[in-house]
Each structure stands twice: as C-alpha cells, then as structure tokens.
Structure 1
C-alpha cells in the first residue's frame, strides 16, 4: 500500500518526537524519583535517630524514665506520625504514645486512595515497627519501639509532592507530544506542498502542456533546485517542440520544391510539351543534387550521434592547419570580394582530432561566407589564456536576431526562413559544430548584432596544448 510523502513525513517526525520525549521523560523521572526517594530515606533515618536521642536525653540516672512528660512525647509522636514505646532495662513499658493517631492516618490514606487511586494507597504502605537500644554513659538503659506506616513514614505532603511530580511529568510529556504533532504536521506540509505543485506541473507536462512552470516559493535548497530543473526541462521541451514543428514545415517545403520541379519537368517532357534537351535534364539534375545535399546533411548528423562523437586525436600544429584552411577559402572569398583576415598565433602544437577541426572550421567559414555581403571581411584568430585555447571566427554579415541566438545550435533550427531557403541550408551545420566541439570537452559561444555580423568563439581546454614556441 502506497502512502503519501506528507503522511510518511508526519509519522516519521511524530515517531521521532515521541521516542525522544518518552525517553527523556522516563530517564528524568527515574533519576528525580530516585533522588527524591533517597532524600526521603535519609530524612526518615534522621528522624528515627532524633527520636532515639530524645529518649536517651529524657533518661535520668536516679529516676530513670519516670520524669518523662507523657503529654509532650505524645504530641511529638502525633506530630511526626509515629508510634513511640519506651521500655526500661527490665522490659517494663515506661511510655507509650498509643496508635490511635496512626489508625486515623491509615483511614485517611484509604479515603484518599479511593479518591486519588491505588497509587496513593501504595504510598501509605504497611505498618512497620523498629526497635533500637537506648544507652546512657555507654550502658544500655532500655529499648525504644518506633512504629509507622510505609517504608519511610511518608507524610501526606510527601505523598502529594511525589504524585504532583509524576503528574507534572505526565502533563509535560502530553503537551510536548501535542506540540510535536502540530510541528510535524506543519513541517511536513511545508516540505510536501512544493513537491505536490512540482508533481502537478510534471503531470501537466506529461499531458502536453509544456507552457506550465513550477512556480514554487520555498526556502529549501533541494526543492528549489528540483523546481528549477522542472522549469528548465519544460522550457527545453517547449523549445524542442517548437523546433520540431518548424522542422516539419521547413523540411516539407524544402523537399516539396525540388520534387515539384522534377515532376513538372518530367511530365512536360512525357506529354511532349517539352523536348528532352540537355538544359532541361541539367535543371532536373540540379534539383536531384539539392535533394541529395539535404539527405547528406541528415546522414552527417546521424553518423555524429551514432559514433558517440568519438574523436581520433593526434599531435599536430593547429596554427599551420588554420593557415591552410584560411588560404583555401581565399579563392571562394574573392568571388564576393571578401577579405580573409588572419590573426593566428604561430606554433600551437595540440593533441586533437585534425579532421574534426577542419569540419568545424569549414562549417563556420561557410556560414560566414553565405551570410556576408560583398566587400566585407571574415576574421580567423587563434590565441589562449591560462585555461583555454581560444579559436575565433568573426564576420561582418547579416547577423542573427536576438530571439534566435538561444536556438541556433539546435538541430534543424533556422532563424531567417526565407534566407535559409535561398542558401539551401538544412539547419544542422551549427548543431554538428557544437557536437564536435563538445567531443573535445570544449564549448562554443556566439555574439551577434543584427546587420553588423557575428562572432563565434570556441574554447578548448588548455591541456590540449602540447607546446607553443614563440617565433
């Protein structure tokens, strides 16, 4: 049987409070009760010794116990709730207080026992009588019998105090348990209410509402992190859903256009409207190549994912590799009179995958060329700081809209649809670049201003730099 986390937390907190309070209460009660009993025992023993001493002081060498004032001794016995009987050396009773007052105490104890419970009757106890010898000048002069009820002749005040103490402990435990129960409910509610909201948001996401957000005000760090993770997941899924829908529309359009062109050309030639000339076959061939280019791009991305972005590292001169790439783009750049600027620090020997570095650079430079106007410039730079090798590709092209910047590295995302159709891109080039960079434990960032150009920076760990010799 499944139970809610709120009930589980409430029961757990309450059980912990109960065990703690009961344990502390029992230990405290045991220690205080034991200490109080020790005090009562010592007080009783002192009382007995005092009675013995009084009896010895009442003895007179000439008169014996004849001089005892019966009234004073009886009053003392009643006051102390004890029976006193003094016998001389011959065994004759010199004084007896009688037990009438003790019988009265017993009756009162029984009555209070019926009113306050069995524990009060147990406190009164059974009748006990002690016998102590009496001495005068180290000679035995007689015997004193001292009788009382209970182990230590507890008075009604003593019994009442002990009962009050026990009731106080019981009341304290009860109040503490009540507070513990209330606090456990409050704490469990504070912890579970945000979780319930997060679960509700997750269920909304499961049902397709990706616009939901787990807005959970909480002071608990872990719950806040969980809520932020749910929000990030919802936002990411929402973005992916948007990209997926856009991809479906874009790919349908991209595939439909060349297929429609091929269909109309072939049907025209089949119906005899057009003659199958070389130019018309060439036009059909261009459309086929356009379709093949899109398929090849998809295959490149699939291969990248299937290979797990594995890299085959080797040691080579990164500066020399970049110089060659820039030089190879010079011819293409001249078609639009674009200046290729190189700020590449020399003699960077690195341990990386040269083929994937070429693929990264060709993708970035191809994008820079496609979206750059005539008579502009493209810059390639290589430098480093204490933590990273920094590779920069900057252009003065059309730039990227601010709203598109967070998504440009997502597969199949294309910001300007009309421009992308003109250039024929499928929207996966930058996704491949990011995958290759991350395969080298690096990261890529972009800064762009619409109409002024873009700047891509790649950061590779400095550990990949084998050496750098200044020329």
Structure 2
C-alpha cells in the first residue's frame, strides 16, 4: 500500500513537471521565433515604417521656406540620406541632406534613379526596397534583389530605400531616402546561445517547482487517503482536517468528514436494525413454535384460542415482512405511484371506523376533527398506509389517557392532516432521527402495541415519493404531533 501511495506521489510530481516543462518549452519557442527568427523581419519593417513616417511629414512642407532645414534635421536625427529631385532633373539634387558622405543614393546613376522613379509611379507613388550593396544594379521582378555597384565604399552593407512621388504647385518631385540597416546576424547568434542557457535554467526551475508543488499538494491528499482507508476498514472516527491552505483540499476534507459521520450513523442504525428485526422475527416465531409444540404434546390444548394465537403471530410476522418489502421498494425508487382523485376526509373517517373496532376494547380513543371535505390527487392506497402508520405510532406512544386526535385543516389550497398524542414527547436533538428505521427515543427496543415499528420510515418514503411536506412538532412531557400536507384539487380533476 505504501509503494502504491509513493508511486501516486511521483506521478503527481512528474505530471506537474511535464506540464511546467511543456509550458516552458512553448514559451521559449515563442520567444525564439519572435526574438531570433523574426528579429530581422521586424527590425526592417520598423525601419521602413520610420522612413514612411518621415516622408509623409516632409511631403507636407515641400517648397516651404524652412523645407531644407527640416530635411537636414530629419536626416541627422534618423541617420538617413534624403534627396529631392524634380521631374526632368534627376541628374542633380534639388535638396539634399545626409548623415554620412557615402550614401548609396550618391552612387546611383541617372538611369538607376529613373528606374526607381518608374517603379514608384507603377506602385502608386511610393516604392520601398531593401538594397544589398554588392553587385551592379539591375531591375526585375519581386524575386530579384536590387543591387548597387561594388565600387561603393560600404560594400556588403544592406540599406533600406524609400522613394515617393510628390506634387506641389504643379511640380512633381521625387524623394529618395536611404537608411542603413544594421546587421543582426551576430546579435541573433549571441541570443541563440543565451536562449540555450535560459531554456536549461527554466527547465531546472520547472522541476524544482514541480517538486515543491507536488509535495504541497500530495502530502494532504496522502494523509486524507490513509484516513479514508481506515474509514473503509470500519473506523468512522478519523478526522480529515488538513493544514494546507488550498480551498479544494479543505472542501474535500470537509466532505469526507461529513461522509464519515453519515456512514457511521448509518452503520449504527444498520446494526440496530438487524438486532431489532431479529427480535421482532424471533418473538412471533418463538410463540408459534411454543403454541404448536404445546398443542402437539399436551392433550386438550388444541383449542381455538391457541390456534388464534398462532394466527395472530403469523399475521404479525407477515405484516413485518410486508413492511420491510414496502420500505425497500420506496427507498430503491421501484414503488410506482398510481395517482387518483379521492376524498381524503372520507378516507380518514373510514379508517377511524376500522380502528375503533380494533382498539376499543383496549381503552384507546381516537378522535377526528375536520373543518371541511378535502379532495386530493395522490396514490390512495399509499396515503391510506401513511394514515394507518401515523395512528399506529400515536397509539404506541400516547400517554395514560390513551387518547389520539386526528385533525384536518384546509388552507391556501393545501390540506394538512395531523395526528397528535399526549405521550412523553421527543427531545429536540432527536427529532430529525425519528424517521429512521426502528429509531427509538429511549434506544430500548420494545414490541409495538400495533404495527411493526417501521411505520415512520414508510411514512417518510411515501410522502417524499409524493413530494409532500411533512414533519413533527413535539415537546418533552407534552406529546407529539405528526403532520403532512397535500395539494388540494377539484373533485372532478382528470387523472392520467
């Protein structure tokens, strides 16, 4: 068992490490793609965007008094060479400003400038180009590089060229801007090496974090697991409280604590149930056996009274078995309802007449008080069983007066039926448990005057199957009132 728990802890650890490692690798790959593979692309894109911004600002000041000063300022601040030409005068600059004396545009021939002019005109007035200062200039398709002669002093450099056609007072201008592009290959090689070290460090950190996190998470879970094993072995007293601050683990511990309490209570009730059922089964069987042996062995004992005693005990045994079967069906949800509209008031009155015949000779009095006739839609047989069981319970626990009062009241489209006795009552802390099978307030099982002792459990199952409201009001030394409510309906309501 310990090896299995250890493997589960290792499983959590490696699962956390795997998750963190995957996230780390994804993060590093994203950084590698954007910071190394796409660095040159974004750098050049930013340079061209800067050149386009400068060209737009200068285009608004062409031929102004401070135009040349503005060109000089932009050239100096952006480390660029800027030349303006007029149409038909590409062989000399109208305005020129540069940050270095070896600008690429200075080495372009009139034919090369004319080619740039044509490209700008064909492209809607602007033209951007990445120039490699290496080989003679040649025009062509998009797949070809635009190059300048090798006689350029900054051979093997890369420049960005932006050309724009401008119109001012009927004059067309060609602006050419030349800006050097810094090589990023050396930077990317250095960053690649750094990324390897960063990746190794982050993976190591992920492993350490996984170790710590798995310990923090797995330790309380392991503790809870060990206590759950004790509970599975029949020890329902373990305390699942944990010291961790994780809300989910604390909620799990609270749920298991409640489960342990409920299972413990159910286990105790089950043991009491077995003992009580054994008692109630053994008593009639013992009496049946005793009377039968007496009638067999003793002449003259084969009397109608002894035969009736055997019949009574057999009937009681049959009732107990039937009640157990009914209760099992209700709790399993296999007992199907057959609803119909019936007069609840008349049903109670008929029941009272039968009870009067059964218990009159024992001194019990059952009174019925109804304000008006009440029709309900429910399973009549099962509701009748509820009424029988509540009256049986009241008869068993009523006081010396042997008086039971059944009351029916109609209010707000509901009818409440209550059965009251003047017995010892139920302590408040035990009221919620009286609906359990064979539950006794004094914990001493005794044979009921009437019924089998399972009545309240059957009442609970039937009323919950009808979604009815039910309860008990009790005070120690005063007595108890058991009640339930059903919805009223019209006596002519159709039933399915």
Per the normalisation by structure 2, the TM-score is 0.60
Does residue 316 of structure 2 align to residue 290 of structure 1?
A: no
Match of 2:388 among 350, 355, 362: 362
Residues 473 and 480 in structure 2, CA contact (< 8 A), matched pair in contact too: yes
Residues 85 and 144 in structure 1, CA contact (< 8 A), matched pair in contact too: no
Q: Measured at CA, do residues 268 and 311 of structure 1 come closer, stay the same or move farther in structure 2, by a change above 3 Å?
A: closer
Q: Equivalents in 1 of 2:460, 2:282: separation in Å?
A: 29
Aligned position for 1:119: none
Aligned position for 2:94: none
Q: Name the Cα RMSD after superposition.
A: 5.3
Residues 338 and 377 in structure 1, CA contact (< 8 A), matched pair in contact too: yes
Q: Equivalents in 1 of 2:417, 2:20: separation in Å?
A: 57
Residues 425 and 480 in structure 2, CA contact (< 8 A), matched pair in contact too: yes
Residues 198 and 214 in structure 1, CA contact (< 8 A), matched pair in contact too: yes
Q: Measured at CA, do residues 13 and 394 of structure 1 come closer, stay the same or move farther in structure 2, by a change above 3 Å?
A: farther
Q: How far apart are 1:197 and its partner, in Å?
A: 4.8
Give secondary structure in 2 for the equivalent of 1:375.
coil
Aligned position for 1:302: 325
Residues 14 and 184 in structure 1, CA contact (< 8 A), matched pair in contact too: no
The runs of 5 or more residues in structure 2 that have no matched partner are 1-6, 52-74, 86-99, 110-131, 139-149, 160-179
Give secondary structure in 1 for the equivalent of 2:152.
strand
Does residue 379 of structure 2 align to residue 353 of structure 1?
A: yes
Q: Equivalents in 2 of 1:305, 1:325: separation in Å?
A: 25
Q: Measured at CA, do residues 316 and 423 of structure 1 come closer, stay the same or move farther in structure 2, by a change above 3 Å?
A: closer
Q: Which has a greater percent of helix?
A: 1
Aligned position for 1:458: 484
Give secondary structure in 2 for the equivalent of 1:146.
coil
Paired residues in the alignment total: 395
Does residue 36 of structure 2 align to residue 36 of structure 1?
A: no
Please show how residues 248-259 of structure 1 align to structure 2 within 5 Å. 248-259=274-285
Does residue 367 of structure 2 align to residue 340 of structure 1?
A: yes
C-alpha distance after superposition, 1:161-192 (max 9, x if no partner): 76777788778877777776666666666666
C-alpha distance after superposition, 1:68-111 (max 9, x if no partner): xxxxxxxx78xx8x9999999xxxxxxxxxxxxxxxxxxxxxxx
Please show how residues 302-321 of structure 1 align to structure 2 within 5 Å. 302-303=325-326, 305-306=328-329, 308-321=334-347
Give secondary structure in 1 for the equivalent of 2:418.
strand
Q: Equivalents in 2 of 1:384, 1:175: separation in Å?
A: 78
Residues 348 and 468 in structure 1, CA contact (< 8 A), matched pair in contact too: no
Per the normalisation by structure 1, the TM-score is 0.62
Residues 421 and 481 in structure 2, CA contact (< 8 A), matched pair in contact too: yes
Aligned position for 2:26: 19
Q: Measured at CA, do residues 185 and 292 of structure 1 come closer, stay the same or move farther in structure 2, by a change above 3 Å?
A: farther
Q: How far apart are 1:365 and its partner, in Å?
A: 0.8
Give secondary structure in 2 for the equivalent of 1:309.
coil
Q: Equivalents in 2 of 1:323, 1:261: separation in Å?
A: 35
Q: Equivalents in 2 of 1:191, 1:13: separation in Å?
A: 15
Q: Equivalents in 1 of 2:478, 2:17: separation in Å?
A: 61
Q: How far apart are 1:439 and its partner, in Å?
A: 2.2
Which has the larger displacement, 370-379 or 259-268? 259-268
Q: Equivalents in 1 of 2:215, 2:471: separation in Å?
A: 43
Which has the larger displacement, 220-229 or 426-435? 220-229
Q: Measured at CA, do residues 249 and 197 of structure 1 come closer, stay the same or move farther in structure 2, by a change above 3 Å?
A: same
Aligned position for 1:277: 301
Aligned position for 2:462: 436
C-alpha distance after superposition, 1:301-349 (max 9, x if no partner): 314545822122111122332344345545646854646252x342422
Q: How far apart are 1:259 and its partner, in Å?
A: 5.0
Residues 21 and 177 in structure 1, CA contact (< 8 A), matched pair in contact too: no
Q: Equivalents in 2 of 1:26, 1:384: separation in Å?
A: 79
Q: How far apart are 1:360 and its partner, in Å?
A: 0.5
Q: Measured at CA, do residues 369 and 128 of structure 1 come closer, stay the same or move farther in structure 2, by a change above 3 Å?
A: same
Aligned position for 1:373: 399
Q: Equivalents in 2 of 1:209, 1:180: separation in Å?
A: 40
Match of 1:393 among 419, 424, 447: 419
Q: Equivalents in 2 of 1:5, 1:291: separation in Å?
A: 62
Please show how residues 50-449 of structure 1 align to structure 2 within 5 Å. 128=134, 145-152=152-159, 195-215=221-241, 227-259=253-285, 276-277=300-301, 282=305, 286=309, 289-290=312-313, 292-303=315-326, 305-306=328-329, 308-326=334-352, 328-329=354-355, 332=359, 335-336=362-363, 338=365, 340-342=367-369, 344-375=370-401, 377-383=403-409, 389-402=415-428, 404-416=430-442, 418=444, 420-421=446-447, 423=449, 426-449=452-475
Aligned position for 1:101: none
Q: Equivalents in 2 of 1:227, 1:443: separation in Å?
A: 33
C-alpha distance after superposition, 1:147-172 (max 9, x if no partner): 2444357779x777767777887788
Q: How far apart are 1:5 and its partner, in Å?
A: 5.3
Q: Equivalents in 2 of 1:215, 1:444: separation in Å?
A: 36
Give secondary structure in 2 for the equivalent of 1:394.
strand
The runs of 5 or more residues in structure 1 that have no matched partner are 54-75, 89-125, 133-142
Give secondary structure in 2 for the equivalent of 1:319.
helix
Q: Equivalents in 1 of 2:397, 2:153: separation in Å?
A: 117
Q: Equivalents in 2 of 1:379, 1:239: separation in Å?
A: 33
Give secondary structure in 2 for the equivalent of 1:421.
coil
Residues 339 and 375 in structure 1, CA contact (< 8 A), matched pair in contact too: no
